[in-house]
Amino acid sequence: MKTILDLENWNRKEHFKHFSQMEEPFFGATVTIDCTTAYQNAKKLNTSFFIYYLHKTLVAVNTIENFKYRISDDKIYINGRVDASATIGREDGTFGFSLMEYHPDFKIFEQNALAEIERIQNTTGIFTREFKDDNVIHFSAIPWLNFTSLSHARSFTYPDSCPKISFGKMISSDNGKRSIAMSVHVHHGLMDGLHVGKFVDCFQDLMNHPLEK
């Protein structure tokens, strides 16, 4: 389900019109995330760290409303739920675009994600399914690089307002702390640095949350 944002009475109406006229309306930032507790939690759950932080990403995305906004025909729609189109690697070095449906219950999300990963790994090519809706984030993991910035291949003529979130290589320090780079690219017509900051803070809080006994 999605609803139309009341653009005429939105306090960012002029911001939306200004940035939507640009050839490249996206802006981004790369931040360092402390993943010490999150990595320990994933190990305790005997689950994939990738699936674990993907789920935390989607929880944060579905918490910060501006990350649920999408543009279509000069209108802004608010999605009731946002999923992830994550790149999933294969043994031959290629990858395919997946659809990871968000569910607040991690166990349900994990089960569905594992099935989707297996499906992708048994297909070929980059597009292995249709994406009829744009209620997704574009998600990728680049575990070979401890990057400090990141750019994305993008067609300026193709209408796109989906946030793009990428993670780098997990780094361990001598004191036992673990960190990971997270890159966030978003449409400036839909949000500003304030909203990206709220998203990062929300995500970091989720990653810091200890498992309940």
Among the options 18, 185, 188, 195, which is catalytic? Answer: 188
Give the dihedral of Cα atoms 132, 133, 136, 140; nearest 10 deg.
Answer: 20
CB 179 within 8 A of CB 35: yes
In this structure, the number of other CB atoms found within 10 A of the CB of residue 43 comes to 11
Measure CA of the first residue to CA of the last residue in the chain; give whole Å. 35
Per-residue b/e over 170-204, b at no fewer than 16 CB within 10 Å?
beeeeeeebbbbbbbbbbbbbbeeebbebbbebbb
Of 21, 17, 54, nearest to 35 by C-alpha is 54
Look at strands 83-89 and 136-141 and give their pairing: parallel
CB 137 within 8 A of CB 203: no
Taking the C-alpha atoms of residue 46 and residue 39, their distance in angstroms, rounded to an integer, is 10
138 catalytic per annotation:
no
Active site residues: 188
